[in-house]
Chain A
Amino acid sequence: MNWQQLTALLWLRWRLMANQWRRAGTLNAVLMTIAAVGVVVLAVPLFIASIAAGVYLAPKAQPAQLMYVWDGVVIGFVFFWLIGLITELQRTEPLSLMKFLHLPVSVNGAFLINYISSFARISLILFFPVMLGLTLALIYARGAMLLFTAPLVAAFLLMITALTYQFQGWLASLMSNPRRRRTVVVVATGVFILITQVPNLMNYFGFWGIQNRAKLSKIRVEEYANLELARAAGEFGPEEQVRRQKELSQKYEESVRQADRETAQRAERTALLLNQSLPIGWLPLGVMSAAEGRPFPALLGCLGMTLIGSASLWRAYRTTVGLYQGEFSRGKSRKKPAVAVAPTPAVVRKPGELSLLERQIPGVSEPVAVIALGTLRSLLRSPEAKMMLLTLVIMSLIFGGLLFQIPARSSVWLRPLTAIGAMFVVLFGILQMMSNLFGFDRDGFRVFVLSAASRRDILLGKNLAFAPITLGTALIALVVVQIASPMRFDHLLAILPLYLSMYLMFCMLANLISIYAPMHIALGSLKPANPKLKTVVLQLVLFMFLFPLTQGPVLLPLGIEALLTHLGWPERLPVFLVLSLAECAVVVWLYRAVLDWQGDLLQEREQRILETVTGRAL
């Protein structure tokens, strides 16, 4: 590869990025340019600040504390690095290497330039100066032994970049099949979401000791209350109470200190174990051992990371060569003798057997039924929808975990409120897909524009398609709420029509946003492709203002029952249930009326929507 080719490839990378920014609008291009310049400019003060902080803190710090600092840097870097990777994965274009391997560029050169240009990420531009600054500060403050930090940082960066590069190469060969490509994107994103939830899980299982402190604090409050009761009963006087309170306070502080010590010891043991067992921990571990005057672990870590990096680079190179030679898989299955591939047999149906799309939905017209079933079928198959469902499950787990922390003797009004909150979470989780109903149809939206089906039916079908997912998840959440914090039976019954009201109100809002602010979504992604700033703002405004407005009234029945009970009405009167049913009837009527209007609106704007969701200027 010569200099001209090198500059051409660098220019290509730059143009691709600049064009992507420009296509999203002038304002976006300006903002992104400012951000890019800002990141580069920020790198300088970050470097200086790291040196300053290192020089100031390193002499006083324990070796274990140095390890924690480096753990923080490593985790921060890997987190942002992964975000960059996921973003790149979600792009519809396959690996750029594929696009220029047919050109007169040597494989080695293409490999090298592509690998080096993969360094150009915000995470590296921001974190490398920090790592460099800390390294220099450590060497200055702690002496020659800390010189090990420099090769450790280099080996760490080699390992991460090479592993990422190998991973991308492997994905490129794997994703030659579009269906598999989407699955890979979903799985990678799902794994990333799960990884980011680890701190939350640690929090849930009390790793940080917050629960312990809360428990101790609760005990102290109870003991104070008991003291108060005993004094009121005349068991002792105020002076004795003050003395006993002081005792309790000292006991509490000692218990907290003990609990904190235990938590810190446990955290240190876990951190050490993780640093030893995970290669990304070898950099902090190496720094700690070097600070302790033990060079061997630092050397070993350096060697290990270099080996992993080199092996990854070698594998990545082999994949590149494989791609160049047209071998899309290097697995053992390639060695099997070639056999003629029999065509997949056509689907054979038994007489009377109906496929999902042939089924009827009682009470709705033929077009509504098939639009609902067709959309549902697409949803259940599309990885982006599965990704959304995964988000829903994760959100349910997080909020479900919180539910079990609510005291069993909570207020009778708090329990139905929790159930309503669960539905909010579900609606929030599904918002991204439902507020862009046609965005996921892409070219398929033309079928609707070309069809004779009434536009009202199209909207109704779309809303029906999401109903099993939304209401099904909400019902599961309701069961969890009922187990965690049982509601009165009439309250439980009242929640059911309330859920329907909430869903229908949400549908009206989602339809409106879908009609006025549609977005083009790239295949296999949940991310809008080059959205216009105007559309994003419109989506946000519509959501921010109308979501509370449409969902607020659902709290009325419960609020009225609470008010009446407060005013002295008998507690067991099922006011909430009756009002929920009445409200549901009103919402159903309103939904029908609004749907007619929204159908007309859809027909009026369908050509503009088509232009947007297909991502093509007509």
Chain B
Amino acid sequence: MTLAIETHQLTRYFNDFGAVRGIDLAVESGTFYGFLGPNGAGKSTTIKMLTGLLAPSGGTVQVLGRNMLDRREALEAKRHMGVIPEDLALFDNLTAQEYLTFVGRIHQMPRDTIRSRSDELLSLLDLNNEGKKLSLEYSHGMKKKLAMAAALLPNPDLLFLDEPFEGVDAVTSRVIRDVLAQFVGRGSTVFLTSHVLEIVERLCTHVGIIVKGELVEQASLEAIRQGSSLEDRFLEKAGAEHDSSRKLNWLEEAAS
């Protein structure tokens, strides 16, 4: 078993606040790993540390066998990674085609490959009709799609996706799911965070749950579900079991 991502006691503090507290992640190659947690649990902070967008306060990070805390090895790992960060990474003044050309050339891909893959990706994600529109004029969903196209363009071995389905329409969401399934099917790895448990349940093979900066569960989807639904297990782990007595009394009054 080779590990695509491995962390040991990964920690990040913002002043006195521990956003991520000593988590040990182990993501096998070829898996579709869903990283779940309530709002503010530390998902995005973790993904930022895994991709080199944020320096950890402590612990180690290995991505694709490279130590991300070593500058040279981090660059080498980045050659094989695709990322959709939480706040995206687009240039306001470039068109979709230009942005993909830019990303492709940064990855030192041949020009013809960049062209053909960009055309395919833009067409697949329904961005091919946007002509000379700049990314600053895109809606949030379109920006997400463009970021997805850029992440896939270099044909990476590992994809980090922070909320990739947020703000994306149903048709594109289906397309992205199919692409990701194809991606994992050929032996690549996806590390995904999402609030939509149905998507995680449908796509992921493995799941990690982070609560208040601590990894409270990490196993295969089947092992976590244990015959129940992922939602129930997640709520249980997140410490927010459904309590029918918690109601807003004033909502029960008749509407005026």
A interface vs B, CB < 8 Å? 177-179, 343-347, 355, 357-358, 366-367, 369-371, 374, 377-378, 381-382, 441-447, 449-454, 523, 600, 603-604, 607, 610, 614, 616-618
Chain B interface bracket (under 10, 10 to 19, 20 to 34, 35 or more) = 35 or more
Q: Is the CB of B53 within 8 A of A618?
A: yes
Instruction: Give the residues in chain B near A369, CB-CB below 8 Å.
Output: 105
Q: Which has the most chain A C-beta neighbours within 10 Å: B45, B51, B87, B129? A: B87
Among B14, B108, B134, point to the contact of A367 (Cβ < 8 A): B108
Q: Is the CB of B89 within 8 A of A450?
A: yes
Q: Is B102 an interface residue (CB 8 A)?
A: yes
Q: Which has the most chain A C-beta neighbours within 10 Å: B55, B105, B134? A: B105
Q: Is the CB of B87 within 8 A of A446?
A: yes
Instruction: Give the residues in chain B near A604, CB-CB below 8 Å.
Output: 71
> Across chains A and B, which 8 residue pairs bring their CB atoms closest together, nearest first?
A344-B131, A446-B89, A370-B105, A343-B129, A444-B91, A452-B79, A378-B93, A381-B93
Knowing A444-B90, A610-B53 are in contact, say whether A450-B98 is a contact too (CB < 8 A): no
Among B14, B76, B95, point to the contact of A452 (Cβ < 8 A): B76
Knowing A443-B90, A523-B92 are in contact, say whether A618-B45 is a contact too (CB < 8 A): yes
Question: How far, in whole Å, are A70 and B137 apart by their CA atoms in the complex?
Answer: 46
Q: Is B212 an interface residue (CB 8 A)?
A: no
Among A179, A346, A355, A614, point to the contact of B98 (Cβ < 8 A): A355
Q: Is the CB of A178 within 8 A of B108?
A: no
Given A374-B102, A443-B88, A451-B107, 20 extra CB contacts under 8 A: A177-B137, A179-B134, A343-B131, A345-B129, A345-B131, A357-B101, A370-B101, A370-B106, A371-B106, A374-B91, A377-B94, A382-B93, A443-B90, A444-B92, A447-B102, A451-B78, A452-B76, A452-B106, A453-B106, A607-B55
Q: Is the CB of B51 within 8 A of A344?
A: no
Contact string against A for B residues 43-84, beta-carbon threshold 8 Å, 1 for contact and 0 otherwise: 001001001111100000000000000010001101101010
Instruction: Give the residues in chain B near A445, CB-CB below 8 Å.
Output: 89
**Which residues of chain B from 99 to 151 have any CB-CB distance to chain A below 8 Å in the complex?**
101-103, 105-108, 111, 114, 122, 128-134, 136-137
The residue on B at minimum CB distance from A342 is B129
Q: List 12 A-B contacts (CB under 8 A).
A: A344-B133, A345-B129, A367-B108, A370-B102, A381-B93, A442-B92, A446-B53, A447-B106, A452-B78, A454-B75, A603-B71, A618-B45
Q: Is the CB of B137 within 8 A of A374?
A: no
State how many angstroms separate the Cβ of B148 from the closest Cβ of chain A.
14
B interface vs A, CB < 8 Å? 14, 45, 48, 51-55, 71, 75-76, 78-79, 81, 83, 85, 87-95, 97-98, 101-103, 105-108, 111, 114, 122, 128-134, 136-137
State how many angstroms separate the Cβ of B97 from the closest Cβ of chain A.
6
Q: Is the CB of A347 within 8 A of B132?
A: yes
Among B52, B102, B130, B134, point to the contact of A381 (Cβ < 8 A): B134
The residue on A at minimum CB distance from B129 is A343
State how many angstroms separate the Cβ of A22 from the closest Cβ of chain B.
17
Among B87, B102, B134, B136, point to the contact of A357 (Cβ < 8 A): B102
Q: Is the CB of A618 within 8 A of B98?
A: no
Question: How far, in whole Å, are A511 and B218 apart by their CA atoms in the complex?
Answer: 44
Question: How far, in whole Å, are A603 and B53 apart by their CA atoms in the complex?
Answer: 11
The residue on B at minimum CB distance from A523 is B92
Instruction: Give the residues in chain A near B54, CB-CB below 8 Å.
Output: 607, 618
Q: Is the CB of B93 within 8 A of A450?
A: no
Instruction: Give the residues in chain A near B103, CB-CB below 8 Å.
Output: 447
Instruction: Give the residues in chain B near A610, CB-CB below 8 Å.
Output: 53
Instruction: Give the residues in chain B near A607, CB-CB below 8 Å.
Output: 52-55
Q: Is the CB of A616 within 8 A of B87?
A: yes
Question: How far, in whole Å, are A367 and B102 apart by their CA atoms in the complex?
Answer: 9
Q: Which has the most chain A C-beta neighbours within 10 Å: B93, B105, B137? A: B93
Question: How far, in whole Å, are A452 and B132 apart by their CA atoms in the complex?
Answer: 28
Question: How far, in whole Å, are A358 and B115 apart by their CA atoms in the complex?
Answer: 10
The residue on B at minimum CB distance from A346 is B128
Instruction: Give the residues in chain B near A443, CB-CB below 8 Å.
Output: 87-92
Instruction: Give the residues in chain A near B85, CB-CB below 8 Å.
Output: 446, 450
Q: Is the CB of B105 within 8 A of A366?
A: yes
State how many angstroms separate the Cβ of B18 from the closest Cβ of chain A.
14
Question: How far, in whole Å, are A366 and B97 apart by their CA atoms in the complex?
Answer: 18
Instruction: Give the residues in chain A near B78, CB-CB below 8 Å.
Output: 450-452
